[in-house]
Structure 1
Amino acid sequence: MTGTETEQSFRQTGWPGLRAKLFHTLFVLKRPMTLGVRGMVHDRERNSIFLIRHTYVPGWQLPGGGVEKGETMGEALVRELEEEGNIAISAAPALKSIHFNRIASPRDHVGFYLVEAFHQTEPKRPDHEIAEAGFFPLDQLPEGTTPATLRRIAETFQGAAISPYW
């Protein structure tokens, strides 16, 4: 399977795809450019990272979401990690890179952070947004980990060149 075919297999289709396009249309009306954050929560002791699987898009991915009006990227990251993983950051995360997310929209960018000082208040239980969540050893990632997540892992831990694209 080529890289483009792999990317296409993670595209939203049907109602979830329509819903995503409607949300992006709403975002475009509210903000001429969309901005999001994703956090790689890395447990150094276990060499594992926290991944989520949404109810409305395929694949395992890094937690994160949109930066709201009046919110900093750091504030958005804190909020998203709490909402999607019950994860509280205990020291400033490192902004590793910013990527153009051309698959989501021709105007979407994502700030990527590495979070290594944190605690999880309790395991994340499934809800209307998050189907599954958990920590996975870097050498035992779940089947269906998204290509963008795999790229961020390679850039962070394997010395791969940082791509400008999500």
Structure 2
Amino acid sequence: MTTPVLREMRWWDIEPVLQLEKDLFPEDAWSRGMFWSDLAHARGPGATRRYFVAESPDEDGRIIGYGGLASAGDVGDVQTIAVARGHWGTGLGALILTELLRTATAFECAQVMLECRVDNVRAQKLYERFGFEAIGFRRGYYQPGNVDALVMRLNDPSTSVRGTEING
């Protein structure tokens, strides 16, 4: 398997990302409008968001993952991160998370927050490997399934990516 190519997400990526989103998160998938809104804040001076897609060179550039980060002041927030089912366990999630943490460092974020479904243990383990710690819960955060979110925080994201290689 060839290493996926990460690049900035553009408006023409929204449709393939939505297909992946609906497959992975059928109950609480983001809408087209949510992606459009966030991408509108990801360009130009004063940008507060950055989104990436991962393309598979083995599958004619098909989008196999994506992730996004928003910043407000010195706090970053992982908005979304997803990997196509056929690529689970390949290191793609770590590749995307590494890029999001590099972005947080570039945005001069002192800490990064995220919410993760309490039943998504696989994702929680990834975040813990990067130094995120559980700090609380948001009851009924994921709707309409009424699933709780585990709130996680990483202090000083620059220490989690210092010296790492993006190699899938």
TM range, normalised to the smaller chain? under 0.3
Normalising to structure 1: TM-score of the pair? Answer: 0.28
Q: Structure with the greater relative contact order (CA < 8 A, sep ≥ 6): 1 or 2?
A: 1
Q: Which has the higher helix share?
A: 2
